[in-house]
Structure 1
């Protein structure tokens, strides 16, 4: 079952006794929990019926005891369990001893008045574990992974529409380029843009550029994009702006090297017929970042990218040893690169 199907079932009153939510997209995970809360509990019931646990400081068996306990003054309770590392691979470093068998036993005959929700902020579960296998058959497993590039832009459009605003052509892409791909950050920036535009207002590219300040990484991302498109003056403008913000030239050079390394890796994997999603998973990147890197990769030969990375390695050594002025070194690098 996917997230949309699970939400539809919840709204129809079909509530599972167990939910195991996992993945790296916390914002969507929290949105799902909110939908579940609204369906299972009324606002008046939440003080008595909404229970939070963290397995880093609470044993799993205590959570099971809570689930078995009859709720007080409410017909049903919702139990949210954070840091559910018992479902993942690797050694659990917590000092708490978790008796997983207590949960396995409870799953055979769960209480009808309790809904257990386990939240795992990791990309994968350990499919070999019995508790994961049982959860697949007795409960609902839902994966929350980063949205693909097209889905991300659709998500932005949907959020803007919900706030009774509209986006002009190219504005959604500019929001991502300036704010990044984290949904929590994007949601806050969309609120700001719609507040500025007003009810029924339109958000243009210029408005996005005025209101959303890029962080250092996004500035470097834009700088490399300008280099790829031979916009030397704009690239240098971004560089000087970073210097005004007291950014260390060595750090800027390292971020530029990281971006060119990503471009080379995306070019290499794309040449091996990897899909955008596969490349994103392989490199632990957001699919939108892979899409943009792919566009940039088409403007360079692999040999050029390797030569650029070699120059950056030499520049890093020179800056750290004092063989060249750091600002001058980066200026010369950018000018030679553009040439």
Structure 2
């Protein structure tokens, strides 16, 4: 069993799923959480990694330390970005010196810790650490490429089967043609399988009705991204909406969605069921379930503040105080801080 994992590539969805499988090996979640340390590669130093990896596991077989984006940061510096003296002193040496010291440390890393490096970009084979650990019995280097073409179609069908449903070949191809990001595809697959109640294969018509190619469906993704504070994705979803719709129409759809979420939050807090929420809001059970799920991303005061901010933006656009598309960009930035 490897004690060091170097996971890299552009398929962030598959990468994240693989990390989750490692976490699952720790067993019961409440106990596992006591033995997981996640470090931000933008600020971490080698001594901090060593300290985390050197800690003993608590009532589990091993401790898990996950470091995300550190090699990307170091790689950018070794490729020519200048390091100032303060940064070099803080990190304990230059990028090349850090990589050399890291490679040396990994040879004697404690067996009681699994150290996982996650890089959401392709690392070249000539990378110093890749070369240092490749072929070592205690290390695993795994690359996650984005599936394309026929491989993406098969990926959709395999993913659907893993969730307990099925897609026809034609439906899988139609979905692959509307979205190529595996993470977004995962959301779409779940959405479509829920729509067919996992009782029959998803057809092309289901894809056309529910995928993000449909503006109303894309609003769900946009609001999801806001609720989870994923600003980059929220902006991407907004710009896709604006490619097909006018800014005021998009804003109107967002206001409507947040009104539903606010009402759902109030009903759920009053211990109403999702069926009662659907009935009160006049929604089909499927979108009502999505609204209820989205309401859990927010507190009631936060939803009230967002709703008032949306109405302010609507008024500013309609009175000519601001340019519509720019106002929506600013709004997304504010809501995902």
Report TM bin, short chain.
0.5 to 0.7
The answer as to whether partners of 1:41 and 1:76 remain within 8 angstroms in 2 is no
* Cα separation, 2, equivalents of 1:201 and 1:157: 14
1:210 aligns with 2:196: no
* Cα separation, 1, equivalents of 2:130 and 2:164: 42
**Structure possessing the higher radius of gyration over alpha carbons:** 1
Instruction: List gaps (5 residues or longer) in structure 1.
Output: 1-14, 217-240, 248-339
The answer as to whether partners of 2:188 and 2:212 remain within 8 angstroms in 1 is no
Q: 1:173 and 1:84, CA in 2 relative to 1: closer, same or farther beyond 3 A?
A: same
Out of 59, 63, 67, the residue aligned to residue 81 of structure 1 is 67
What is aligned with 1:124? 123
What is aligned with 2:103? 104
What SS does structure 1 have at the residue aligned with 2:7? strand
CA offsets, 1:6-58, max 9 Å, x none?
Answer: xxxxxxxxx20111011111101011111111124442422221110012112
* Cα separation, 2, equivalents of 1:132 and 1:52: 21
The answer as to whether partners of 1:24 and 1:145 remain within 8 angstroms in 2 is yes
CA offsets, 1:219-265, max 9 Å, x none?
Answer: xxxxxxxxxxxxxxxxxxxxxx9886128xxxxxxxxxxxxxxxxxx
CA offsets, 1:179-210, max 9 Å, x none?
Answer: x1101111111111111111321221112111
Alpha-carbon shift at residue 148 of structure 1 (Å)? 3.1
* Cα separation, 2, equivalents of 1:34 and 1:128: 26
The answer as to whether partners of 1:64 and 1:103 remain within 8 angstroms in 2 is no
What is aligned with 1:54? 40
What SS does structure 1 have at the residue aligned with 2:5? strand
Alpha-carbon shift at residue 152 of structure 1 (Å)? 1.1
What SS does structure 1 have at the residue aligned with 2:147? coil
* Cα separation, 1, equivalents of 2:41 and 2:50: 12
What is aligned with 2:131? 133
What is aligned with 1:188? 187
Cα RMSD of the aligned pairs, angstroms, is: 2.9
Matches of residues 199-238 of structure 1 in structure 2 within 5 Å? 199-214=198-213
* Cα separation, 2, equivalents of 1:198 and 1:78: 37
CA offsets, 1:42-94, max 9 Å, x none?
Answer: 42422221110012112122101221232344441010001122356524678
TM-score norm. by structure 2 comes to 0.55
CA offsets, 1:104-157, max 9 Å, x none?
Answer: 33222221100100011112336152x332221431111111113222111111
The answer as to whether partners of 2:68 and 2:119 remain within 8 angstroms in 1 is yes
CA offsets, 1:272-327, max 9 Å, x none?
Answer: xxxxxxxxxxxxxxxxxxxxxxxxxxxxxxxxxxxxxxxxxxxxxxxxxxxxxxxx
The answer as to whether partners of 1:61 and 1:100 remain within 8 angstroms in 2 is no
Alpha-carbon shift at residue 166 of structure 1 (Å)? 2.8
What SS does structure 1 have at the residue aligned with 2:180? coil
What is aligned with 1:279? none
